[in-house]
Amino acid sequence: PGHGTGPVPGDGAGPPAPERVLFPPTFSVSEIKNKQRRHFMFLRWKQQQRKEKLALKKKRRKEREALGDKAPPKAVPKTIENQRVYDETTVDPNDEEVAFDEATDEFAPYFNRQTVPKILITTSDRPRGRTVRFCEQLATVIPNSHVYYRRGLALKRIIPQCIARDFTDLIVINEDRKIPNGLVLSHLPDGPTAHFRMSSVRLRKEIKRKGKEPTEHVPEVILNNFTTRLGHSIGRMFAALFPHDPQFIGRQVATFHNQRDYIFFRFHRYIFKSEKKVGIQELGPRFTLKLRSLQKGTFDSKFGEYEWIHKRREMDTSRRKFHL
C-alpha cells in the first residue's frame, strides 16, 4: 500500500557507497587517544607539510627563473631576532653619554691599558672531578689565570686576599650534583659582580672532531650582539678577562655569542686554506651562560646593591623581548 522511495531489490542499485570520513576543520591530532595511532598520524601530517613546503619552493624558484632580472627581491624570513621588541637602552655608537660613562666606569683602567688582567678561578666548596677538570681547562683558555680550590673559605674573605695579590677578576664555578651549573664573575677591586646560570658544559674529551690542545698564545676575543647598556656592561666584563694584544700567530679565538639572552662560549683554532676558505677546529671547553643578576661592587649576597635582576614573571612577558 505505501509507495517507498528507496531502491527496490533487483533493480540493479546496490547499497549506497560509504562517504569518505572527513575530519572536522577544528580537529587536532592531539585529540586521538591511542598513542601509536596519534604518533602515526602526526608523522603523516609532518610529511604532508614537508611535501607542500617543497612544492611551493620549487614553484617559486621556477617563477623566479622565468622572470629573470625582473624577479622581485627575496623576502627576508621572519625570525624572533629581527622581530625583536625595541629596547630603549640600545646603544648608539655615537652616543656621547655612553662614551663618557664607559670612559669613567670600573673597566676604564683596563681599556686605558693601565692594568694587566690577572684572574683567579675558584670553585664552590669541595668540588667534584668534572668541575675541577672544567676549571683547569678554563685556565688554559684565559691567559694569566690561576686555579685555587676553596677549603671552606667564604667569598667575602677571598676577595680582600685577591685584591692584595693584584688579581683583577675573580671567577667562581658553582656545581650541583657534580655538574657545573653557575658562574660568578666579579671585577676587582670595585666590582661589578655578575651571576650567571651555566648549562650545556662540554669538556674537551666530550667534543667531537676537536683539535689538539690549545697553545699558550693569547687568543683573539669576539663579542657578538651585546647591544643594550646592560649588554655592553657584560661584554666589557668578558673583554677585561683577556690581555689587550692577541698573538695572531696562535690562530686561537674565544667567542662570546649572545643570542636571545643566552651567551654561548666557544674556543676555536682557525687555519687559512686559501684566500677565500677558512677551516676551524673547536678546542673546547664550551658552555652556555644566562645572566641572573648584575650587582654593584664586589660579591655581597646580603647587603649588595643590584643594578639588574632577572625576574621571569615580570620580564619574560614576550618571547621577542631581550635584555642584552
Print pLDDT tens along the chain (324 aa): 545 555 555 555 566 665 655 556 667 888 888 899 899 988 998 999 999 999 999 998 888 888 877 777 877 888 887 778 887 788 887 788 888 888 888 888 988 989 999 999 998 888 888 899 999 999 999 999 999 888 778 888 888 999 999 999 999 999 988 889 999 999 988 879 999 999 999 999 998 877 788 899 999 999 999 988 999 999 999 999 999 899 999 999 999 999 989 999 999 999 988 888 999 999 979 999 999 999 988 877 767 788 888 888 787 778 888 888
For residue 104, is it within any domain? yes
Residue 29 lies in a domain: no
**Residues in CB range of 155: below 8 A, 6 or more apart:** 172, 184, 299
Q: What is the CATH number of the domain that holds 302?
A: 3.40.50.10480
**pLDDT tens digits, 161-219:** 999 999 999 999 999 888 899 999 999 888 799 999 999 999 999 988 777 888 999 99
User: Domain limits at 297?
Assistant: 96-315
Number of H helices and number of E strands within the chain? Answer: 7, 11
Task: Give domain status of residue 176, yes or no.
Answer: yes
Residue labelled with grid coordinates 577544528: 26
Write down the pLDDT at residue 265: 96
Question: Nearest 5 degrees, angle CA 28-CA 32-CA 34?
Answer: 155
**173 found inside a domain:** yes
Bridge partners of 256?
Answer: 223, 265
pTM of the model: 0.77
What pairs with residue 199 in β-bridges? 288
12 located within any domain: no
Q: What does 64-91 look like in DSSP terms, one character per residue?
A: HHHHGGGSPPPPPPP-TTTTPPP-TTBP
Question: Does 60 fall in a domain?
Answer: no
CA–CA separation, 51 and 58 (whole Å): 11
Instruction: Report whether 207 contacts 282 (CB < 8 A).
Output: yes
Domain annotation covers residue 41: no
Number of domains in the chain: 1
Query: By C-alpha distance, which of 305, 323, 307 is closest to 315?
Result: 323
Burial letters 178-200, b for 16+ CB under 10 A, else e:
eebbbbbbbbbbebbbbbbebee
Which DSSP string do the residues of 22-57 spell out, in sequence order?
---TT--GGG---HHHHHHHHHHHHHHHHHHHHHHH
Chain centre to alpha carbon of residue 122: 24
H or E stretch at 264 = strand 262-272
Residue-level pLDDT at 174: 92
| Per-residue pLDDT tens digits for 240-249 | 999 989 999 9
- Please check whether residue 197 lies inside any domain of the structure: yes
